C-alpha cells in the first residue's frame, strides 16, 4: 500500500531519470535507504533539482511503497558549506555514502545509521582541510561501520586465549588480536603494536567530532587501513569505487607529519 512519509534524508547518489527527471538513492531517517524519483528535477526551474545535487540534510515528503518513492516536496535543513568547497572533503563524504549504501539493505530503517551519517557529515564539515584530519575521519567512519555492522574485530583481548593485550599480531582470519604465545609462525605478519591497538579502540568509542582533535599520523592511518579495509570490503562483497578515488585524492593533500 502506498504511503506518504515526511522524513529528513541525505542524498547518497543521484543520476538522470528519463528525459528530465532524477533518480536518487536517499538515506532517510524513517525508511532507511530508498530510491526516489523526481520527474522534472533536471529542468532549470526545478527547486528539487538543486536540492538533490547537494551534500545536505533535506526534509522531504515522499510518496510510494516498498523502497520506491516519488519526491513531493523538499526543503533544506542543514547545509555543509565546508564540504562543498573542498574537493577532498567531498571525496571523503562520497566514500562515507558508499559505506552506508553497502551496509544498508534497501527499505530497512536504522536510526543508528542515520545518526552515524549525519554525525559523519558534521565532523567532516568542521575538520581542517588537510590530510591528517580527513584521513582520521575516514578511518573513524570505517571502524565505526564495522561496529554498526556487528563485525568489529577484537583488539583488547587475545581471540585465542582471552588474555589482556600484551603485544602480538592482528590475524584477520581469527577475528582480531592474537598474543605472542598463541600466534602461529605463519600468522606473525601484521604486528599490532600497543599504540595502534589503542588508536583503534579510541576511534571505535570516541565521537567522530572528538577524533579529529587527536589526528592520526600517516603511518598509523596506513597501518590501520590494512586492518580495517579487508574486513569491511569482504563483508560488502566488494571494494567501493570511491575508496580508490579517495586514495588518489589523498596523495595531493597537504601533510604535516
Q: Looking at 158, 199, 228, 243, which residue binds Zn ion (CB under 5 A)?
A: 158
Q: Binding Zn ion by CB under 5 A: which of 50, 87, 161, 189?
A: 161
Cα–Cα distance between 86 and 94 in angstroms, integer?
12
DSSP-assigned letters across all residues of 66-119? TTEEEEEEEEEEEE-HHHHT-HHHHHHHHHHHHHHHHHS-BT---HHHHHHHHH
Which of residues 6 and 188 has its CB atom nearest to Zn ion in the complex?
188
Contacts of residue 135, defined as CB under 8 A and 6 or more positions apart, other chains included, come to 215, 216, 218, 221, 250
Site string for Zn ion, 74-103 (x = CB under 5 A): ------------------------------
Member of 31, 55, 182, 246 binding Zn ion (CB under 5 A): 182
Interaction of residue 183 with Zn ion, rule CB under 5 A: no
Contact between 179 and Zn ion by CB under 5 A: the answer reads yes
Stretch that binds Zn ion, among 8-16, 40-48, 56-64, 177-185 (CB under 5 A): 177-185
Short-list 97, 72, 100, 104, CA closest to 6: 72
Q: Can you tell me the distance from the alpha carbon of 109 to that of 93, in angstroms, rounded to the nearest whole number?
A: 21
Nearer to Zn ion, 28 or 160 (CB): 160
Q: Which residues bind Zn ion (CB under 5 A)?
A: 158, 160-161, 179, 182
Amino acid at each position: 500500500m502506498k504511503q506518504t512519509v515526511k522524513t529528513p534524508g541525505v542524498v547518497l547518489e543521484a543520476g538522470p531519470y528519463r528525459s528530465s527527471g532524477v533518480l536518487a538513492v536517499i538515506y532517510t531517517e524513517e525508511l532507511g535507504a530508498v530510491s526516489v524519483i523526481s520527474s522534472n528535477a533536471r529542468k532549470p526551474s526545478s527547486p528539487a533539482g538543486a536540492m538533490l545535487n547537494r551534500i545536505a540534510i533535506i526534509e522531504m515528503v515522499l510518496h510510494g511503497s516498498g523502497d520506491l518513492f516519488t519526491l513531493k516536496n523538499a526543503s533544506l535543513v542543514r547545509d555543509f558549506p565546508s564540504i562543498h568547497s573542498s574537493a577532498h572533503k567531498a571525496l571523503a563524504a562520497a566514500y562515507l555514502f558508499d559505506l552506508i549504501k553497502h551496509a544498508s539493505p534497501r527499505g530497512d530503517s536504522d536510526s543508528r545509521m542515520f545518526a552515524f551519517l549525519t554525525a559523519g557529515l558534521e565532523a567532516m564539515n568542521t575538520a581542517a582541510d588537510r590530510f591528517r584530519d580527513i584521513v582520521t575521519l575516514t578511518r573513524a567512519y570505517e571502524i565505526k561501520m564495522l561496529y554498526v555492522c556487528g563485525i568489529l574485530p577484537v583488539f583488547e583481548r587475545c581471540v585465542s586465549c582471552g588474555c589482556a593485550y600484551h603485544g602480538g599480531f592482528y590475524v584477520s582470519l581469527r577475528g582480531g588480536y592474537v598474543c605472542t604465545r598463541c600466534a602461529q609462525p605463519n600468522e606473525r605478519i601484521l604486528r599490532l603494536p600497543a599504540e595502534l591497538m589503542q588508536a583503534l579502540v579510541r576511534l571505535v568509542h570516541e565521537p567522530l567530532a572528538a577524533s579529529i582533535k587527536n589526528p592520526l599520523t600517516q603511518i598509523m592511518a596506513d597501518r590501520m587501513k590494512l586492518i580495517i579495509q579487508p574486513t569491511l570490503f569482504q563483508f560488502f562483497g566488494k571494494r567501493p569505487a570511491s575508496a580508490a578515488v579517495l586514495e588518489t585524492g589523498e596523495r595531493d593533500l597537504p601533510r604535516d607529519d
